Structures are given as C-alpha cells and as structure tokens.
C-alpha cells in the first residue's frame, strides 16, 4: 500500500520540530480528516537555510511533511513557492488515492509559511 519512501519518512521523519524566532510560520488543517501541519522557516539571503515541521496526523501526512522539507531546504523562496502537492507525492513514489489529501497539506503549509515570511519582511 505504501512505498518504501513513505515508510522511511514516516518512521524516520526529517526536520521535525520548531524554530524559535522563525522568519516565517504557516499552518494548514485538512477539513476532511483533521490532520494539521505547521511549518517554520529560517531564511538567509532569500535561501531557506532551515525548515522544521510539526504534524499531527496519519503516517502519510508525516511522510509528506518530511519529504517536503527535504525538497526545499537550500532552495530560494521563489523555487520553494512553486513546489506542488503532486511533486511531494511523486517524491514519495506516490500515495494511495485516499491519502493524497495528506500531500496537499505539505505544500500548502509551506506556501503559508512563505507568505508569512514575505509579509513580515514588508
């Protein structure tokens, strides 16, 4: 049912936690299942230098959060802003159809954190 990458990112999630004095914070909640993701960014010279997440949800939601962080650390804000939910799912070698909404939270929470970062700079 789940790919090896999903299982790996669920059992060994990367970048879990919180960044104190984060440059940007974003949160999304799934209306369909109640899963919740919160993303914290540390940005230097327009590059995501550190990213952490807190996810309350199923294994697919945790795996999606973990993979999303790996996909964007070291990227520019502009590069991270175009990350799609489909790209997160593809990087995990797919998710079962009933769990695709979990990958949707990861990119959406990232985008919220970037919007928050941009608003704080303004």
CATH number for the domain that contains residue 17: 3.90.1010.10
For residues 51 and 73, is the Cβ–Cβ distance under 8 A? yes
Structure tokens at 63: 């795996």
Question: Which of 102, 106, 109, 113 is labelled catalytic?
Answer: 102
Domain range enclosing 79: 4-121
Please tell me whether residue 39 adopts helix, strand or coil conformation.
Answer: strand
Provide the domain count of the chain: 1
The most confident of the ranges 45-54, 56-65, 101-110 is: 45-54
- Give the global pTM: 0.94
pLDDT tens per residue across span 9-54: 999 999 999 999 999 999 999 887 788 999 999 999 999 999 999 9
Question: Which of 7, 16, 29, 33 is labelled catalytic?
Answer: 33
pLDDT tens per residue across span 69-85: 999 999 999 999 999 98
Q: What is the pLDDT of residue 66?
A: 97
For residues 99 and 9, is the Cβ–Cβ distance under 8 A? no
- Whether residue 58 lies in the annotated active site: no
């Amino acid at each position: 049912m789940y790919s090896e990458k999903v299982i790996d990112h669920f059992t060994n999630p990367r970048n879990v936690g919180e960044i104190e004095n984060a440059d940007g914070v974003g949160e999304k909640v799934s209306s369909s299942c109640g899963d919740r993701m919160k993303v914290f960014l540390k940005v230097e010279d327009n590059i995501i230098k550190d990213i952490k997440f807190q996810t309350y949800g199923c294994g697919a939601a945790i795996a999606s959060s973990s993979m999303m962080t790996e996909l964007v650390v070291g990227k520019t804000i502009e590069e991270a802003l175009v990350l799609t939910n489909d790209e997160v799912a593809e990087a995990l070698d797919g998710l079962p159809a009933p769990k695709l909404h979990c990958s949707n939270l990861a990119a959406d929470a990232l985008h919220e954190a970037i919007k928050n970062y941009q608003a704080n700079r303004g």
